[in-house]
């Protein structure tokens, strides 16, 4: 409470050892709850979740209802600070009800204060202010001076949002003085920071700057707040024309925000946490671009990209507690039942499934943080990109024949970084309605666009007009000049660009797939990590296909032929599971036994689905059941190539902070080295031959991206020579390789 965090940590550690030695269950539960609060203050959200959930289970077993209520209250805090404000409000309200039933007035007022904060975050300002006023009065009447002062500071923030600036200034000052008198220096500094931002938003940066400078040292050990102070210092410095100082503060703030995300292993939570720092990210990128410091721009972008996937690869989250896995399975069945309920109209179905998925996400968050997290000192943020080392890794594989194209969005500007062996260049293009519409059409109208419907129908005078236009907007001239058929082009997309069929972009008179070997990469730090891991030395393949399904889903009659053709060209031994043998249970058992780690190839030919609005429900369908996205991520692969020969296998839902929900990324999280998948459904008439040709090329090259390029180029040549309708871009352009070589 007094800000002596290092002393507190030492005492907590001593107490934990003592309570463990003497087997004191109540003390252990109390300590877990206290250490959960301590972890929250330190911005260690994973540790806070683990400790609080553990304490809640311990108190429930001990029958200590009052302590359970306090855990429910505390559990709302990680949700609040990570941006799940509605879920936080629900926990605060439940804790308030429990406290009222137990006649615990002090805790009840704290719950109400926290609920008011959640209302404020959900933009219910008048309701929040009314609740805060009632809490302050009740706290003063009960002699709880600290709670009353903290609530007064909360009221100042709401008043500022309502435009009542003089009242806000007065309340900030009163709260600050009272909290200093109570030795609550942390809270005083926190509200001073809020006051600084209130001044900054109304254009008074000269008054805000000294406030930020004064509180920065006091809040250095509180990263959840300190990043906002660093951001405030950056904005003030930039407004004063001190660009170098501004960029230094932006860099520090971005690193702090990235570190806060680094312990979270759920994309939705990482994304909502990033959303609070989205303005920081956009301003930092813009400032670096204006300063011409492209390396800093690259680092700032990279550290906020694919944070959850990076943590999966770096630390491999432990298995969840059995009771949480059981609850997840029950929730999955409920969601599947809602999807199958024909009595629901479309609007109701979307709403109830959305609510059920929100509950599922909370359970999944608990599952991924129920085991003890990686120690804070061992966490690695994706900020750890070593650019000279990355260049060396790329040069050792491709010599000078490589280029990286990295895309980042800063509000209404698309930044395109081109990294080569000796240069780092920046191009910019407007992220406007025209570009958004082209991307939408290329994704949603793929049959029309990739058969050149606009030209054939007389709507354009240039063949493949939209694909030419996208190539002109997205492939900078400097990159185009470097291209040749052997050139490796690594593409790091963002936002809607994850859905682009890059190989089908027109560059000059040809397809991009003809002019480079294309490979998509979630983040450069992830490519670097995957590239340094040894490739699988096994030659064993697991070929898994479902042409029939126990639950009566539409049959896939070409699956048998596809598996036959893959088996005929795969150079090593293989195990074939088809139809009734291709079960979710069997795949999970193979993973648990460790046998899946010995497979160099996992070929999946079946149904798959990803609906962007409900992307957490993405799955592959096996004979007995669906395997959901989160379950795929827990498989234990050993650097295999995974081929998803299914509809929408490469489909993706992009969340703020470049967190992506996709089957391809889930298999990378599970330990795949690379994933071949398709952006849209492929005809049964071509899939078997395509896969046979791909694996033939793979046997020759040993490189999935190179094998895909050769397969696509052979089809392009056939289209150019005889205009075979089964060789149009619609057939070959949807396939992408994601990952490392």
> Model confidence over 548-560: pLDDT tens digits?
999 888 999 999 9
Tokens 């680094």 belong to 262
Which of these, 652, 655, 654, lies nearest to 273 by C-alpha position?
A: 655
Are 357 and 410 in the same domain?
A: no
Asked whether the predicted pLDDT for residue 384 surpasses 80, the reply is no
Quote the strand ranges of 420-560, DSSP E: 424-430, 488-492, 506-507, 510-511, 517-520, 540-545
Helical spans, DSSP H, in 22-164 = 25-41, 45-62, 65-81, 85-101, 105-121, 125-141, 145-161
Are 688 and 580 in the same domain?
A: yes
Helical spans, DSSP H, in 620-686 = 629-633, 663-669
Which of these, 369, 386, 244, lies nearest to 311 by C-alpha position?
A: 369
Which of these, 559, 657, 637, lies nearest to 604 by C-alpha position?
A: 559
For residues 734 and 680, the answer to whether their CB atoms sit within 8 Å is yes
pLDDT number for residue 528: 94
Instruction: List CB contacts of 476: < 8 A, sequence separation 6 or more.
Output: 405, 416, 418, 425, 427
Rounded mean pLDDT of 466-486? 97
For residues 31 and 19, the answer to whether their CB atoms sit within 8 Å is yes
pLDDT number for residue 408: 97
Q: How far apart are CA 632 and CA 666, in angstroms?
A: 6
pLDDT number for residue 318: 63
Percent of the chain with pLDDT over 70: 98
For residues 335 and 290, the answer to whether their CB atoms sit within 8 Å is no
Are 331 and 393 in the same domain?
A: no
Average per-residue pLDDT for the chain: 93
Q: What is the DSSP string of 482-511?
A: H--TT-EEEEE--GGGGG--GGG-EETTEE
Percent of the chain with pLDDT over 90: 84
Return the structure tokens found at 724: 């075979």
Tell which wins on pLDDT, 649 or 419.
419
Domain count, the chain: 3
137 φ/ψ angles, rounded to the nearest 5 degrees: -60, -45
Task: Identify the DSSP state of 141.
Answer: H
pLDDT number for residue 265: 87
Return the structure tokens found at 608: 């798959």
Task: Identify the DSSP state of 554.
Answer: P
Are 330 and 469 in the same domain?
A: no
For position 542, which CATH number holds?
A: 3.40.50.1460
Residue 653 falls inside a structural domain: yes
User: Which residue(s) pair with 256 in the sheet?
Assistant: none
Q: How crowded is the C-beta side of 248, counted as CA atoms within 13 Å?
A: 5
Q: How far apart are CA 728 and CA 717, in angstroms?
A: 10
Q: How far apart are CA 587 and CA 593, in angstroms?
A: 10
Radius of gyration of the chain measured on its C-alpha atoms: 28
Asked whether the predicted pLDDT for residue 375 surpasses 70, the reply is no
Instruction: List CB contacts of 704: < 8 A, sequence separation 6 or more.
Output: 641, 674, 676, 698, 737, 739, 741
Boundary (domain end) residue, out of 469, 498, 526: 526
pLDDT number for residue 314: 85
For residues 257 and 227, the answer to whether their CB atoms sit within 8 Å is yes
User: pTM, whole model, 2 decimals?
Assistant: 0.94
Boundary (domain end) residue, out of 470, 499, 526: 526
Are 545 and 672 in the same domain?
A: yes
Cα 198 from chain centroid (whole Å): 30
Are 562 and 705 in the same domain?
A: yes
Rounded mean pLDDT of 216-220? 93
Are 688 and 543 in the same domain?
A: yes
Residue 33 falls inside a structural domain: no
Return the structure tokens found at 579: 């139809």
Question: 241-255, 472-486, 568-582, 723-737 — which is least confidently predicted?
Answer: 723-737
Q: How far apart are CA 614 and CA 354, in angstroms?
A: 7
Q: How far apart are CA 236 and CA 243, in angstroms?
A: 10
Asked whether the predicted pLDDT for residue 383 surpasses 80, the reply is no
| Residue 429: domain span | 387-526
pLDDT number for residue 553: 87
Rounded mean pLDDT of 154-168? 97
Asked whether the predicted pLDDT for residue 652 surpasses 60, the reply is yes
Rounded mean pLDDT of 625-639? 94
Residue 498 falls inside a structural domain: yes
Are 491 and 542 in the same domain?
A: no
Residue 450 falls inside a structural domain: yes
Query: CA dist 157 to 201, 597, 635, Å?
Result: 12, 53, 46
Residue 268 falls inside a structural domain: no
Question: 288-292, 350-354, 676-680 — which is least confidently predicted?
Answer: 350-354
Residue 61 falls inside a structural domain: no
Rounded mean pLDDT of 131-152? 96
First to last CA, the chain: 51
Are 582 and 513 in the same domain?
A: no
Are 425 and 365 in the same domain?
A: no
Q: How far apart are CA 660 and CA 332, in angstroms?
A: 21
Q: How far apart are CA 136 and CA 144, in angstroms?
A: 9
Q: How crowded is the C-beta side of 545, counted as CA atoms within 13 Å?
A: 23
Cα 681 from chain centroid (whole Å): 25
Residue 431 falls inside a structural domain: yes
User: Which residue(s) pair with 518 in the sheet?
Assistant: 489
Per-residue pLDDT reduced to its tens digit, 531-586: 988 888 899 999 999 999 998 889 999 999 999 999 999 999 999 999 999 999 99
Are 508 and 562 in the same domain?
A: no
Residue 496 falls inside a structural domain: yes
Q: How far apart are CA 468 and CA 510, in angstroms?
A: 9
As a whole number of angstroms, the longest Cα–Cα distance in the chain is: 88
Instruction: List CB contacts of 130: < 8 A, sequence separation 6 or more.
Output: none
Helix (H, G, I), strand (E, B) or coil at 517: strand
Rounded mean pLDDT of 62-90? 93
Are 545 and 666 in the same domain?
A: yes
For residues 732 and 715, the answer to whether their CB atoms sit within 8 Å is yes
Boundary (domain end) residue, out of 346, 371, 396: 371
SS (H, E, C) 310-357: HHHHHHCCCCCCHHHHHHHHHHHHHHHHHHHCCCCCHHHHHHHHHHHH
Instruction: List CB contacts of 517: < 8 A, sequence separation 6 or more.
Output: 485, 486, 487, 488, 489, 703, 705, 706, 709
Per-residue pLDDT reduced to its tens digit, 426-448: 999 999 999 999 999 999 999 99
Q: How far apart are CA 272 and CA 625, in angstroms?
A: 31
pLDDT number for residue 346: 87
Q: How far apart are CA 68 and CA 73, in angstroms?
A: 9
Per-residue pLDDT reduced to its tens digit, 318-336: 677 788 889 999 999 999 9
Q: How far apart are CA 725 and CA 271, in angstroms?
A: 42
For residues 596 and 536, the answer to whether their CB atoms sit within 8 Å is no
pLDDT number for residue 741: 81
Q: To which H or E segment does residue 427 belong?
A: strand 424-430
Rounded mean pLDDT of 34-51? 93
């Amino acid at each position: 409470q007094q800000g002596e965090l290092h002393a507190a940590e030492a005492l907590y550690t001593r107490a934990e050892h003592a309570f463990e030695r003497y087997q004191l269950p109540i003390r252990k539960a109390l300590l877990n709850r206290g250490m959960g609060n301590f972890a929250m203050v330190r911005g260690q959200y994973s540790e806070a979740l683990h400790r609080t959930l553990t304490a809640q289970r311990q108190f429930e077993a001990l029958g200590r209802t009052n302590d359970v209520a306090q855990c429910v209250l505390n559990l709302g805090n990680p949700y609040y600070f990570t941006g799940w404000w509605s879920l936080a409000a629900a926990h605060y309200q439940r804790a308030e009800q429990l406290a009222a039933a137990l006649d615990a007035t002090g805790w009840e007022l704290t719950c109400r204060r926290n609920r008011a904060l959640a209302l404020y975050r959900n933009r219910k300002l008048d309701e929040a202010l009314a609740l805060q006023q009632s809490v302050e009065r009740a706290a003063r009447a009960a002699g709880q001076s600290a709670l009353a002062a903290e609530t007064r500071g909360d009221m100042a923030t709401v008043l500022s949002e309502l435009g009542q600036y003089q009242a806000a200034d007065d309340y900030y000052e009163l709260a600050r003085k009272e909290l200093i008198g109570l030795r609550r220096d942390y809270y005083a500094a926190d509200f001073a920071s809020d006051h600084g931002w209130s001044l900054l938003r109304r254009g008074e940066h000269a008054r805000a700057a000294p406030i930020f400078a004064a509180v920065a040292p006091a809040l250095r050990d509180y990263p959840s707040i300190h990043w906002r102070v660093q951001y405030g210092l950056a904005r003030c410095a930039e407004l004063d024309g001190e660009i170098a100082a501004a960029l230094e503060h932006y860099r520090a703030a971005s690193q702090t925000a990235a570190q806060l995300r680094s312990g979270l292993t759920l994309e939705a939570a990482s994304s909502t946490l990033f959303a609070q720092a989205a303005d920081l990210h956009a301003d930092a990128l813009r400032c670096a671009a204006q300063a011409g410091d492209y390396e800093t721009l690259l680092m700032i972008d990279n550290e906020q990209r694919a944070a959850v996937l990076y943590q999966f690869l770096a630390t491999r989250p432990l298995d969840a507690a059995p009771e949480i896995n059981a609850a997840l399975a029950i929730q999955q069945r409920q969601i599947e039942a809602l999807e199958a309920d024909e009595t629901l109209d479309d609007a109701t179905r979307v709403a109830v499934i959305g609510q059920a998925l929100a509950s599922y996400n909370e359970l999944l968050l608990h599952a991924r943080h129920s085991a003890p997290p990686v120690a804070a000192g061992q966490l690695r943020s994706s900020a750890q990109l070593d650019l000279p080392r990355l260049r060396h890794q790329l040069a050792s594989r491709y010599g000078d024949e490589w280029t990286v194209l990295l895309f980042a969005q800063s509000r209404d500007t698309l930044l395109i970084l081109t990294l080569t062996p000796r240069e780092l260049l920046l191009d910019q293009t407007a992220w406007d309605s025209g570009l958004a519409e082209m991307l939408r059409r290329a994704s949603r109208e793929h049959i029309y666009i990739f058969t050149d419907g606009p030209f054939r129908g007389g709507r354009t005078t240039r063949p493949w007009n939209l694909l030419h236009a996208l190539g002109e907007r997205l492939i900078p001239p400097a990159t185009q000049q470097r291209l040749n058929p052997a050139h490796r082009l690594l593409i790091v997309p963002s936002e809607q660009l994850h859905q682009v069929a890059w190989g089908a972009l027109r560059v000059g008179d040809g397809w991009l797939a003809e002019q480079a070997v294309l490979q998509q990469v979630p983040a450069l730090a992830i490519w670097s990590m995957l590239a340094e891991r040894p490739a699988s030395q096994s030659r064993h393949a697991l070929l898994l296909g479902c042409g029939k399904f126990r639950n009566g889903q539409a049959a896939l009659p070409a699956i048998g032929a596809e598996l036959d053709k893959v088996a005929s060209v795969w150079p090593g031994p293989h195990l074939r599971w088809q139809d009734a043998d291709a079960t979710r249970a069997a795949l999970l058992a193979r993973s648990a036994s460790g046998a899946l780690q010995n497979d160099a190839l996992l070929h999946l030919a079946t149904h798959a689905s990803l609906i962007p609005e409900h992307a957490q429900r993405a799955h592959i369908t096996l004979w007995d059941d669906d395997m959901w996205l989160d379950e795929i991520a827990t498989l234990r692969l050993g650097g295999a190539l995974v081929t998803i020969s299914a509809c929408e296998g490469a489909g993706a839902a992009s969340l703020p902070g470049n967190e992506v929900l996709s089957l391809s990324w889930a298999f990378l999280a599970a330990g795949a080295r690379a994933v071949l998948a398709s952006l849209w459904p492929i005809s049964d008439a071509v899939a078997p031959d395509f896969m046979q040709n791909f694996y033939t090329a793979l046997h020759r090259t040993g490189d999935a991206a190179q094998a895909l390029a050769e397969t696509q180029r052979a089809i392009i040549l056939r289209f150019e020579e005889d205009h075979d309708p089964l060789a149009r871009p619609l057939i070959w352009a949807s396939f992408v390789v994601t990952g490392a070589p």
